[in-house]
Structure 1
């Protein structure tokens, strides 16, 4: 028996409505599931970002404490010892006749010691905040850093600069601190080195700071971005500043052939 057309149409209508309701329900379930996954992913990203910020904060605090410890050690071992020596000489000078030959010699020695103390104070003051950077910019500040380091006679340092488009003072200060720490590390750890080369080169938007020595090197993976076996407060401080600049730190070292540290910065992002 053939169903009337009205019955067939009603069946088709109900089937279409049921299919649409089923599709709509499936779409709602999909949207709810997708939204939950999206919220979960955003939560994980926020947690990861918060953890990263906490790690940065910890590294910054460690770096600051390391710098304070170094300054305190310089004050105690350098200026403190110098002033103590000058005080002992003054006490000895008071016990001598005014026109004694030894008195004149002691007075000359005290003047030399105090001149050294003044120089130490200037050096520590410059390490706290390089005034030449604020006045003349990064290139002149690096030249002053190299000149002061060369005066110590520990290791000849060569400087190469091609820096035509200066950055903001905050970025320049961060780059200066990075270079200062890299030079300090090289002078301290590059045993057997005969030269140290510092270069600041600008090619288009790419700014590259390189500190390279031909010293002892270290045993570590030579791949770009690899880390030495131990990372002290100095390297953590460098890492933090590089991340703040949104740059990249690469290091390459071969045992007995030296170490090359490279900081690359996209100036359009700085």
Structure 2
């Protein structure tokens, strides 16, 4: 009788053990199922986000490419259509001024016309140069940036300290992006930041480059630009994204602003 009771108890215990093992396995199976299902969902969402970001980047790249092409066209029109015609006016006016048969009062008017024509011609050349700097294509980014700094500092109280290293592995398209970023940074610092001392470093790294720009301006709230950026800063962000870079911004009313751009692999 005792043997039968022991056998029955052993069967019950065995059934309980097997039941517990079964429940553990089922629970483990459900956990693994939900884990891998969730992982697949997350992977799909990440893939969708990457596709969206890639699409946005292509749109940005196309938009900026069209913008640069339009700038190039306008610069060419300024040079070919307006500047050439102004040169003709200038030459003709000089011929009339040298003509002894022209009355002195008329020569004064001609000198005034020549002065206006010369200033307009200079303004036209400056605008064309800013739209599409020929020195960038001929001599590269380093020389173009140094000339850009000279343009801002000549005949002004603005001081720009700079250390620019040559980025030989940067193609012309990406050189233009870096040049435009520098233009925007300087313009923003002077117009919005009211700065008069700037510092820019462009260093070549093992992979890519690092750009650090500092100013002594009035500064701003960094949290505000995270919510809404102005056109200039948005343009900088767009070009940094195309370069596959990262932009870091620090700003304080006591110390001004610091923009750091790290680019380890260039855009396509």
Is the shorter-chain TM-score for this pair beyond 0.5, marking a shared fold? yes
CA distance in structure 2 between the partners assigned to 1:226 and 1:206 by the alignment: 30
Check if 1:261 corresponds to 2:261. no
Confirm or deny: 8 A CA contact 1:248 1:264 kept in the other structure: yes
* Counterpart among 216, 235, 244 of residue 237 in structure 1: 235
CA distance in structure 2 between the partners assigned to 1:10 and 1:229 by the alignment: 69
Q: What secondary structure is seen at the aligned counterpart in 2 of 1:169?
A: coil
TM alignment of 1:2-151, pairs within 5 A: 2-4=2-4, 14-53=15-54, 56=57, 100-101=101-102, 102=107, 112=118, 116=122, 117-118=124-125, 120-126=127-133, 130-132=136-138, 135-136=139-140, 138-151=141-154
**Residue deviations 1:27-47 (CA, integer Å, cap 9, x gap):** 221211111211222233334
**Residue deviations 1:55-101 (CA, integer Å, cap 9, x gap):** 54565566567667877887899997766766777898999996645
Change (3 A) 1:242 1:89: closer
- TM-score w.r.t. length of structure 2: 0.65
- Larger deviation, residues 61-70 vs 179-188: 61-70
CA distance in structure 2 between the partners assigned to 1:71 and 1:188 by the alignment: 25
Higher helix share: 2
Check if 1:169 corresponds to 2:170. yes
Q: What secondary structure is seen at the aligned counterpart in 2 of 1:39?
A: helix
- Equivalenced residues, count: 256
RMSD: 4.9
Change (3 A) 1:246 1:203: closer
- TM-score w.r.t. length of structure 1: 0.64
